Amino acid sequence: MQVVSHAQTHVGLIRQVNEDACLELPELGIWAVADGMGGHAAGDVASQLVVDAVKTAVLSVRDGVVTKELLIETLQEANASLQRYSRDQLEGNTAGTTVVVLFLEKTQFHLLWVGDSRGYILRNEFLKQTTRDHSQVTEMVEQGLLTEEEAEHHECANVITRAIGVDTDVEVDVISGECSPGDIFLLCTDGLNKEIPDVEIKRYLQEADVMEAGMALLHSTLVSGARDNVTYVIVEVKGLQEDELANNETEKTIPVLNKTL
Could you tell me the residue ranges of all domains in the chain? 2-131+163-253
pLDDT at 149 over 70: no
Q: Is 111 helix (H, G, I), strand (E, B) or coil?
A: strand
* Edge-to-edge order in the sheet of strand 20-25: 20-25, 30-36, 97-105, 108-114, 173-178, 257-260
Residue type, 134: H
- The chain-wide mean pLDDT, for the chain, equals 89
- Summarised one tens digit per residue, pLDDT across range 92-143 is 788 999 999 999 999 999 999 999 999 999 999 999 999 999 988 777 777 7
Domain 2-131+163-253 sits in which CATH superfamily?
A: PPM-type phosphatase domain (3.60.40.10)
- Summarised one tens digit per residue, pLDDT across range 220-250 is 999 999 999 999 999 999 988 755 555 555 4
Q: Give the integer Cα–Cα distance in Å for 3 and 179.
A: 11
Whole-number pLDDT of residue 141? 74
Q: How many CB atoms lie within 10 A of CB 201?
A: 24
* Edge-to-edge order in the sheet of strand 2-10: 2-10, 230-239, 184-188, 118-123, 126-129
